[in-house]
Structure 1
């Protein structure tokens, strides 16, 4: 484990992640809005950024699309990546998310970033409807230009992405067409530190509590209950690990990155065991380490981007 990772673990209050360490702190988080930070100014220097609005039955939501700005006359993306951000369902996009998204775009991809509604005002079914609309647009673009569609997500965003795919693959019909046909267009899924059980009941979770300086299951459950208040905390949409093995087998190829000092490492381990998907485990790494400015984070980002753009 690098010195930077050890320092982040030693001073959780300075990083702000300690706010997830108890139910009381998470309730306080949910009592104050934490919207997405704007796209940082410096990202406009290396990307073409387009802001758009998608209207669903739940309201109007913003999406951003980033394409690398280069001197190459063939200034078009090679493929499309939909990125679903984490934040415990109560935090919007952070500067760390935008930096990672810009790095993905820099590999030659178009990255579409839905800014879904957060708890407690919104919940999982509203976010799923937004992802339906985002995927519809991505499929139309891919069909017109012969592109592939990939999906990347972190933390709670990984739970949302996987739950949404499983929910639609289980037979829920999208207005005008079968959404299962759309999900099948996603040819690979890459997940960082996924939160896949809103009840935090995966085997091994309790044993990891003492190792994790940032997260605690009791705090996470508060956000999970708010996010699942309509669909249900135990639903596939909110807790993808509640899906059957047959449903999990219907997912596109997966790869997961997880650290051993993360209570959600238990979720990643169980997903890998049940699906046989690839998993990169980094000993001593904290939650969502691919987004951290540490040697472990830099290596993981490079691996994720390489797999996305290959």
Structure 2
């Protein structure tokens, strides 16, 4: 759909914001990732600002009622969507006080509809154990776009706590939809080495979409040393696994991300990967050459891929 994995993920998020399917937003596929994101942010602003005055009035009423009564009224009269819209207009301390008394399933559904512009101050005030319970429920529901959005406002402590209770596959899928490359990098950086190895192994052993999520993760990191560590872990896999990853990159339009990973590897790992027999296949060489010609690291990649001018 998009020209790369990051653009494809943005199209999925745009579809979610519009309440439709990715197939219905292919009109934006010609845009780059940043342009799709800007379009989505305008859509989100318009949707959340519509009828905002009404939700502000309801939020003001909650300020004069005791918390237990507010909780009872909310659970009986408001859907999670409406409650999330009202919560976005409340003082964060007050909204968090209510959230700490709400059922986890109700909060999880509300998170899907929470105004992303106001999520940070609210989430930072909710009891950490309740936050973890909500995260687990969102993972169970497969709400990875919501979790990727919330990653941007999560503290380092929350990231560590979430990583301790969420499986490697879920972390990969959350990372695919993270809003900020810088915030995603900081979140990955706090994970211990053994967890990073596990995440890479999970991506390599998983289905094609999970392998693509792993490539997207490496491609989005803005720390070259961290990217190199993950890429080196991947290079330790056997030839069959690496060849499968190569073919996934070609099939899913992720050759650019694959080349980013190769460029970040240590010299030993690069030699290991570039010695794969599959790289001698004409069709594979054509895909690599095409991606390398427009890659931001094309000068470096030209040296790696074609020291003898063969690509």
Q: Which category of TM-score, normalised to the shorter sequence, fits these structures?
A: under 0.3
Q: Return the structure number with greater relative CO, CA threshold 8 A, min gap 6.
A: 1
Which has the larger helix fraction?
2
Considering only CA atoms, is the larger Rg found in Structure 1 or Structure 2? Answer: 2
TM-score where L is the length of structure 1: 0.26
